[in-house]
Amino acid sequence: MKAVVQRVSEARVEVAGEVVGRCGPGLLVLVCAMRGDGEANAEALATRIAKLRIFRDDAGRMNRSVHDTGGEALVVSQFTLAADTTSGNRPGFSAAAGPDDGERLYLHFVEALRAAGVPVETGRFGADMAVHLVNDGPVTIPMER
């Protein structure tokens, strides 16, 4: 699985003008299941993200996790993270898991992040979404598992 993790002051996702998920201080996680991924990949990535120390401690260093800070997460599926741009001008997405596996693994990732103690809201899988965020820092971390 691939993810882009952004430390945010706030974030929300809308579908057709309706807010379907939001979070306050915490993480916006854009996530993509790749062909060949399984539940173990989703669980491992969720565990790593829950423990990722990208929040400031009292000394101003990035030394605290979202769990440590009591933060929240907004998780949005984004198959375009699988883009292959090695040739031509149009990205290819054949490395992304198919829709059924992608949705199943996305939901499994969300539940694994919740099981790690992080309050999670989500976007809507497969929908055309508008994602709004205030990136704190900015801090943006790409991850794979």
Question: Which residues are identified as catalytic?
Answer: 78-80
Characterize the bridge pairing of strands 2-15 and 18-23: antiparallel
Helix, strand, or coil (residue 123): coil
Give the C-alpha separation, 79 to 101, whole Å.
12
Give the C-alpha separation, 84 to 95, whole Å.
8
Characterize the bridge pairing of strands 26-32 and 72-77: parallel
On the 0-12 / 13-18 / 19+ scale of CB atoms within 10 A, 55 is buried
Cα first-last separation, the chain = 5
DSSP tag of 124: -
